[in-house]
A and B are shown apart, each in its own frame.
Chain A
Amino acid sequence: MTTEQQLRETLGAHVEGAPGNSDRIGQVRGRIRAHRQRRAAGTALALAVVAAAVVVPLTTAGRGSATHVQPIATPPEQQPAGYAYGGRAIGSASGRSSPAQPRVTFTVRPTSYLLVIATDCGGDLSAEVAVAVNGHELTEGSCGAQLGQVADAGAARVEWQRVIHLDAPNTVTVTRLSDTNDDGHLAATPVPTGTVGGTVYQGVPFTAYPLPPDRVGTYPFPSGDSARTELDSRTVGADGTFTFSATTGAKAGFELELIGPGLVDIAVDGQHLQTYGSYDYGTQDDGYALSAEALAAQYGVHLPNGKHVTVTVTASDFAGPYWRVTARTPR
């Protein structure tokens, strides 16, 4: 039986030596700018989507081997109708939300679990929605977000397998919820009148995906931190396999930044973690923890803490301005 003291000690012990971040304010400022840009772009995108009323016919089998994509940080730009997030729309609905009718429902017939469910409330990023498939609520959160990835599905595959039936009709429901207060609480008010919608995209092979117009050259290569291990497309080339060493542990990890399009596969000691995909010229980044707990929970890779490992990064079909991996070393 655990005691209160043990519980307090456990919580306290695990936050000792929290990693520093001297540029947090700069990163937060960058997010604020990006948020504003997305908000502006999202409004325009929503108008286009509603006008197009995209409903693509159901797919046929044979796309199950399609590779990846990650939820992207910016709305797709100048994308051919029906394509986004590395996938092709296989079902969509959008309509007016009201207290009496807060939801839209549509049917999809996926042939693989390489899926993204995107929500949209007319560009209103403060709106909250709940997403359900076949009556199973998957999650609720900010409208405008995407659920899942067309990369290797990752841990989402478990949830997809639980609620989604391949090669069969699946009912998707997007329900607009009451707005939230500033602090994130759902307000005790009726569902507001507005827009609610969703689209399901299924991954297509990278080479078959219609990329948006090239915007190479519009982004300068970011400044780096020479004190940390870095691999980047500027010094080692756009495509190829690159490695670096690390020691697993609570503070070990690395960041991947890129402006695509392109694919980046990541493995640790030969065990696949994830394939990261970019299908546009937006800035993307993600962090990867190299602790035993995170590797097991997020990727099903079992390695003990304190082990010297080799991280392998393989870029392919990369046509964007840059990608960069920065190893995070304990300080």
Chain B
Amino acid sequence: MTDRPGFDEFVATRSHALLRLSYLLTRDWATAEDLLQTALVRSWQAWGRIDGDPEPYVRTVVVNTFTSWWRRRWNGEVPTAELPESASVAAGVEQRDLLWQALGRLPRKQRAVVVLRFYEDLSEAEIATVLGISRGTVKSQCSKALAHLRVDASLENALEGS
């Protein structure tokens, strides 16, 4: 197997952080590990063509693999367009859990935008680059996601100001 200088070290030192990103996207540790390894294999194939820090590249592969992923599993989530009304949600469940459940109901690309913005702290332009979409689409996808999550509208301003 042809070696790729730095690949093993990258996996050893940085893949754990990427596993957390994968988990926020897939919401299941086993699936996250699977997604991460799938992305690492794809990155290995292109390793020699990556300039500079490989982490942004691998992160991009993780996210794009997730948003178009169907190869290994098709037995999980079925995103729904609408959330139940707040009043009908089981009473007594903590806000954080409700929000986590709501994140899981977002369409994949919207979930990716939210995670990249509010976990990875990427700017609108950086998210556009990662997902290969326009800044306007990032903005609209984030707006829709936040509306589904019933997040304070001021968050949208935070995104625009980034």
Contacts and interface: CB of A to CB of B under 8 A. Distances in A.
A238 B53 CA distance: 48
Contact of B100 (A10, A24, A154, A294): A10
A145 B70 contact: yes
Interface string B98-135: 01110110000000001100110000000000001000
A294 B27 contact: yes
B54 to A, nearest CB: 11
Contacts of A71: 71-72, 74
A31 B37 contact: yes
Interface of A: 1-4, 6-15, 18-21, 24-25, 27-29, 31-33, 35, 71, 128, 139-142, 145-149, 154-156, 158-159, 182-186, 250-251, 253, 255, 274, 287-289, 291, 293-294, 297-298, 328
A141 to B, nearest CB: 4
B51 interface: no
SS class of chain A's interface: helix, strand, loop or mixed?
Answer: mixed
B141 interface: no
A8 B119 contact: yes
Report, as a range, how many residues of chain B touch the other chain. 35 or more
Contacts of B36: 24
Given A15-B20, A24-B36, A31-B37, 19 more contacts: A1-B150, A2-B150, A9-B96, A10-B99, A18-B23, A18-B29, A24-B11, A31-B38, A33-B1, A128-B68, A148-B74, A154-B74, A183-B46, A184-B60, A184-B61, A184-B65, A287-B33, A288-B30, A293-B27
Given A6-B96, A29-B1, A253-B29, A183 B64 contact: yes
SS class of chain B's interface: helix, strand, loop or mixed?
Answer: helix
Contacts of B152: 1-4
27 contacts: A2-B152, A3-B152, A4-B155, A8-B119, A11-B103, A14-B24, A15-B24, A18-B16, A24-B33, A25-B12, A27-B37, A28-B40, A28-B41, A33-B1, A139-B70, A139-B74, A140-B68, A140-B70, A145-B71, A155-B76, A158-B78, A183-B46, A183-B61, A185-B64, A289-B31, A293-B27, A294-B76
Nearest to B59: A183
A141 B76 CA distance: 17
Given A11-B118, A255-B30, A298-B76, A141 B15 contact: no
B8 to A, nearest CB: 5
A140 B71 CA distance: 10
